[in-house]
Structure 1
């Protein structure tokens, strides 16, 4: 079965780039109705969003209790009760401990040489392609797929299935229940077989390390371990592909003046990467959901126990009280406060340092290798991958 990406290209007028989405001005917490009618509390100021993400009185597990309104925007793998993202307290810590050594900045730094080699290989193939070249097919997709495949120890057949599985793992609810069940069942079988293979024949990959760490930790149900591995596989490439594609579209389409410095200075590329993570959201949703365990005061407002809370990180990252708006931001300047693009607190993105390294190396090396890289068609003509909770360009035609 082929990947149904093309079926989710939105017809009609061009969609605005993600960094231009019209975020409402941040304000005090207020009750809102989500698109599916679920009543929730919207939190949008930087300090308030950070509190919701870091306060243990707001969790994920409660979102799936029988008396909590369902969120139709959460489907696919992200709605699985076994997923680490949907665990709280000791259950969450037990899963997180199995991975804590793998994703520290020091551990990720050790992966740098082979990640650099993958970047250069992708650029070599790009250089030998007939122009105009599609950056998505030639760079923003194959790079993160190759990295996560090397990290998790995936074979060629599994690599070819990643985009298919990702469409359903991060579905926005537009797929049928039958499609979802079939794809996710197939993915779970793959994850279980991969774990069994690594138990019998361990290697130097992350999957083998997780199997060993889980055995040491003890008490981790097999279903949770399968979801953990599957989540790492699809999340480890989808978010980087999305961010890299959106970043290149923004830089080439709107900020080409930064291209020379990006290619000349790798340290500056690191600063720019942080700014891009902060500026461009992964999707056009308006909040990451939490469940209020008890009555809790946030920003002078009491949010009742049992409420669904939407923490709008996109609006928080544009809070003028923390990030004063400027007509032309210096993309190489440090942020005034830590970005919330990768979350905060107990559920802070496990792959944050890996994502930063991939983006920094990819953006720096492509700018250094192709100083004359430019769009071969108007940015407004770009079509977008849809059907998932993230949004990225379907094609970016470039030349040099």
Structure 2
């Protein structure tokens, strides 16, 4: 899922800095209509995010407890800073749709930190309107619903070819390595014009920059720099190959012409935009494919249902997007001014994490939210975010996920997990997903 909010729907890596003088506050000043926060300290120690029982198929029970009793509360991030955590659907949607909760301020010196990697201020992920609007307009047409539908046959053919190779592997076979990762990588590389031989290289760098281990910060920054250098070199190579009598062959070449002929974005913005599209365009979708398959195969009747009723796959994709969280934290913002949210005063300069995964399990927004209902019709999930930073690549992600299920249910109707779900090893990174997914065909 290509998101202009960074790695899909999760908290984006952002600028390092010490928390401001007003960053500290009570762990949770709001429970059942308590008065607005005064910002004073309490003896309660904030919970640490991610929660100790994170990184698994099922969400931590802490999320449900917070929605019920402490829907807006203070947490400590992996960098040691304190921020607000918002867990209910209505409040998460409000944060994502309110420009007073800023992206640009997340990279300002002194902003609370939530992640290891440090993006550049020129990234679209770290911009507010009007700069964000300017850059987003340059790439929106590449991800329209109509254009993605034109790509659907190519995506289907690519998925079928990967299914053919999957069938040739010794069983059990790791469907993550042989399908879930290669498909979105092939798709985003086709869109951007990235050489096939370079895919393993940028894939390794991409995985590293999502690390949640502060001790690896030096390596994370080095890999981030390597990826940035690679995209810069790719832009330079494509610029040399562009001629007046040849139209641009991919999105990156289109953006190069926009930069060179219209000066609508800077060189740093061009490189950063290419990096964002490349990384977010495959990591999020790859991990969602894995989570979708685990969820369906965990109760085989779910898989058999889609085998027998492929027409239900579009609705099933929406429900699986709601049911499976993409990260253990959420989308990150910093308040640009004092904001009153559900009885809580969030002060200017304070960080706010909008927990999309929690919002998508809120019983105030969804009937029986902890049940997977593949036919669910009323489904206002926030898996792609909300507001001006709504996931740019949502139309592309939907096509990839739909075609994944269509191809795999048709080709492997007896697909099953080769290990118990609790034996799967989850990667401890910003984007939730398993390290391997062994299946029997």
TM-score after normalising by structure 2: 0.81
Give the aligned partner of residue 371 of structure 1: 413
Gap change, CA 1:161 and 1:341, over 3 Å in 2: same
Mapped to 1, the partners of 2:272 and 2:213 lie a distance apart of: 19
Q: Judging changes above 3 Å, is the alpha-carbon distance between structure 1 residues 326 and 185 closer, same or farther for their aligned structure 2 residues?
A: closer
> Matched residues in 2 for 1:135 and 1:159: separation?
18
1:306-358: CA deviation from partner (whole Å, max 9, x where unpaired): 22111111221111111122674322222x34211111111111111111110
1:206 equivalent to 2:248? Answer no
Shift of 1:176: 3.0
The equivalences for 1:382-397 within 5 A come to 382-386=424-428, 388-397=429-438
Residue number in structure 1 paired with 2:312: 268
Contact 2:174 2:436 in 1 (8 A): yes
Local SS of the residue matching 1:324: coil
Correspondence for 1:153: 193
- Separation (CA, whole Å) in 1 of partners of 2:294 and 2:230: 34
- 1:18 aligned to 2:49? no
SS at match of 2:139: coil
Q: Does the 8 A contact of 1:98 with 1:214 survive in 2?
A: no
Return closer, same or farther for 1:14/1:86 CA change in 2, 3 Å cut-off: closer
Aligned length: 381
Structure 2 residue matching 1:139: 3-state secondary structure: helix
Conservation of the 8 A alpha-carbon contact between 2:327 and 2:357: no
How far apart are the structure 2 equivalents of 1:341 and 1:165? 25
Which residue among 257, 262, 265 is the counterpart of 2:301?
257
- Whether 1:298 aligns to 2:344 is no
Q: Deviation at 1:174?
A: 4.0
Equivalences for residues 323-338 of structure 1 within 5 A? 323-325=366-368, 328-334=371-377, 336-338=378-380
- 1:37 match: 80
Greater mean alpha carbon deviation, residues 363-372 or residues 263-272: 263-272
Which stretch of the first structure deviates more once superposed, 259-268 or 108-117?
Answer: 259-268
Question: 2:229 — aligned with what?
Answer: 189
For structure 1, which runs of at least 5 residues remain unmatched after alignment? Answer: 1-12
Structure 1 segment 1-400 matched on structure 2, within 5 A:
17-22=56-61, 23=63, 24-26=65-67, 27-69=70-112, 71=113, 73-76=114-117, 79-174=119-214, 176-202=216-242, 203-215=248-260, 218-253=263-298, 255-285=299-329, 287-325=330-368, 328-334=371-377, 336-386=378-428, 388-400=429-441
- Aligned-residue Cα RMSD (Å) equals 2.2
Q: In structure 2, what is the Cα distance between the partners aligned to 1:179 and 1:239?
A: 21
From the superposition, tell whether residues 249 and 41 of structure 1 become closer, same or farther in structure 2 (CA, over 3 Å).
same
Q: In the superposition, relative to structure 1, how do residues 322 and 266 fare at CA in structure 2: closer, same or farther (>3 Å)?
A: same
**TM-score, with length taken from structure 1:** 0.89
Distance 1:80-1:170 versus aligned 2 partners, 3 A rule: farther
Contact 1:54 1:345 in 2 (8 A): yes
Segments of 5+ residues of structure 2 without an aligned counterpart are: 1-51, 243-247
In 2, distance between residues paired with 1:97 and 1:201? 25
